[in-house]
């Protein structure tokens, strides 16, 4: 009776390990992209809520502005003093229209910010005199 492994058994084991490793790398990449998207979505939603709270705390308007692929919270208008800046990675695209909250926490105009990775989108919409509403789905912000 022989002890040990034959060369064929050894090569089959190595091939199996390589296939499993490759599969885990592919799955890890997809999970990382999902994590980045949902983390960015959470930060986006928190920033819009923060703008509303800051407007009420400070007793003055706070604007939610889009500058390139970044979201900025600014006092009064989009040219006012910067309060917070939230930049997104190149894999994500931010679109929308600026809006402001007044000292009562009410929106002064309709606006929205939409974040997409090309496969799915997440949009925070603010209607005049209404509270923020969230829409999400597949595809881009279009």
CB within 8 A of 142, min separation 6: which ones? Answer: none
* pLDDT of the residue at 141: 87
Q: Which two tokens stand for residue 126?
A: 């603010």
The answer to whether the predicted template modeling score (pTM) of the entire model surpasses 0.75 is yes
Give 124-133's long-range contacts (Cβ < 8 A, gap of 24+). 124/44, 124/45, 124/48, 126/48, 126/64, 126/99, 132/48, 132/49, 132/52
3-state secondary structure of 114: strand
Question: What residues of the chain score a pLDDT lower than 50?
Answer: none
Please name which of 53, 48, 37 lies closest in space to residue 98, comparing C-alpha atoms: 48
* pLDDT of the residue at 1: 60
Give me the domains of the chain, ranges plus CATH numbers. Answer: 7-138 (3.55.40.10)
Q: Tokens 């909250």 appear where?
A: 101
What confidence tens digit (pLDDT) does each residue in 97-131 have?
999 999 998 999 899 999 999 999 999 999 887 77
How far is the C-alpha of 13 from the C-alpha of 10, rounded, in Å?
A: 5
């Amino acid at each position: 009776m022989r002890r040990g492994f034959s060369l064929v058994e050894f090569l089959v084991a190595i091939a199996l390990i390589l296939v499993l490793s490759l599969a885990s790398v592919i799955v890890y990449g997809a999970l990382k992209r999902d994590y980045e998207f949902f983390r960015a979505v959470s930060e986006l939603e928190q920033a819009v809520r923060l703008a509303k709270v800051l407007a009420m705390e400070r007793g003055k308007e706070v604007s939610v502005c889009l500058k390139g692929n970044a979201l900025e919270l600014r006092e009064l208008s989009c040219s006012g003093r910067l309060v917070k800046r939230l930049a997104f990675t190149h894999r994500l695209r931010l679109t929308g229209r600026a809006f402001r909250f007044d000292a009562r926490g009410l929106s002064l105009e309709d606006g929205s910010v939409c974040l997409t990775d090309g496969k799915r989108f997440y949009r925070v919409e603010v209607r005049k005199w209404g509270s923020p509403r969230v829409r999400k789905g597949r595809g881009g912000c279009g």
